[in-house]
Amino acid sequence: MRISTLFGSFGLLVASYAAPLERRANSLTFKGKEITHFLAFGDSYTYIDGTYGHPAYSFIGDTFHSVYTKEELETNEIKLNSTEYLTGCYNGRPGDCDIPLWNFAFAGADTTSALLMPHHDYTVNLEDQVINYLNSADSVLELPRSSTLVAFWIGINDVNDSNKWKNVTFTDFYQADIDYLYASVEKMYSAGYKNFLFMNVPTRNEALRNNTAIWNTILEKERHSFNRRHIKDPEVETYKYDVDKEFKKILEHPTRYGFENWTGYCASYAQPDVIWNYAKYGCLPIDKYFWFNGGHITYRTHQIIAEDLKKAMA
């Protein structure tokens, strides 16, 4: 899946889909701590487009561009998006935002290529996102460990890509997959990072419900295991944001949130002028839909989720 979310371009979504917004002053609190910097890893629900990124897939780099220079990191800009509601980094250089957003997610990513075939030869899975960040970006950016929040939002593609497999014990498979995720978290901890946000997988259709529940259960179990391993470090804070629960809450009473269509989407969603010229395609205004396309949500849905997330973390 290509289109981004909470931290991304969909441009929190698709950069070409975005309407210009003024940057607003933002503050972010995580369990009572003031967060000054935001660092994200994940898939299309997280990524943002960047000038040195693989177009429509990443902020910076791909499989063939996995080493970032100091100049690239310092001059790379977020392409205009209308859904980055968590930090307000709608466009420009991350360092110029109220809360600098450094986003190394890649659209279409799974957790590791050791277990799932990459969607494309240029796809950077989460395991390698973290490795590339630590090898090329960490020493350049010098993010403050005590006030940087590291977010991981992965698993949507893992569940979707494996869901139709036969003769697989999904509890065992997802356990192995999530073990790779937490190995990456441990690498970030070893690099000095202390604050971690884990976002689970939303149920996107009935066929995925059972496997989504298995993934989310294991993800939360391993978060508690991580906490126990580092219980002697008083600075460590983790938080699970239940995206699946928030999806269900919105869809139980969609009209309360202003949605007029929450089961379908505008068939012409990919048209470059659909945001302002929706009537031409026989569509509602895009913010009246819950879904942007068959796999992604609209910028309005992202806004609702981001606002709830900010309150929950505080």
Return the domain boundaries, the chain.
28-241, 244-313
Say if residue 130 is exposed, middle or buried (CB neighbours under 10 Å; 0-12, 13-18, 19+): buried
Inter-residue contact 55 to 271 (CB < 8 Å): no
Question: What is the C-alpha end-to-end distance of the chain, expressed in Å?
Answer: 30
- Each of the 314 residues of the chain gets a pLDDT tens digit; together they read 444 445 544 433 333 333 334 444 468 999 999 999 999 999 999 999 999 999 999 999 999 999 999 999 999 999 986 556 888 888 899 999 999 999 999 999 999 999 999 999 999 999 999 999 999 999 999 999 999 999 999 999 999 999 999 999 999 999 999 999 999 999 999 999 999 999 999 999 999 999 999 999 999 999 999 999 999 999 999 999 999 999 999 999 999 999 999 999 999 999 999 999 999 999 999 999 999 999 999 999 999 999 999 999 99
The predicted structure's pLDDT at residue 245:
97
Inter-residue contact 77 to 93 (CB < 8 Å): yes
Helices (H) and strands (E) in the chain, counts: 8, 9
Q: DSSP 3-state helix, strand, coil percentages of the chain (rounded to 5)?
A: 40, 15, 50
User: What's the CATH fold of domain 28-241?
Assistant: Rossmann fold (3.40.50)
**What are the start-end ranges of the H helices in 40-137?**
70-75, 126-132
Q: Which residues pair with 151 in a beta bridge?
A: 40, 197
E-strand spans in the chain? 29-30, 33-34, 37-42, 52-53, 60-61, 101-103, 148-153, 195-199, 237-241
Distance CA 279, CA 290 (A): 17
Inter-residue contact 298 to 45 (CB < 8 Å): no
Name the DSSP letter for residue 92. B
Distance CA 261, CA 70 (A): 46
Give me 118's structure tokens.
């990459």
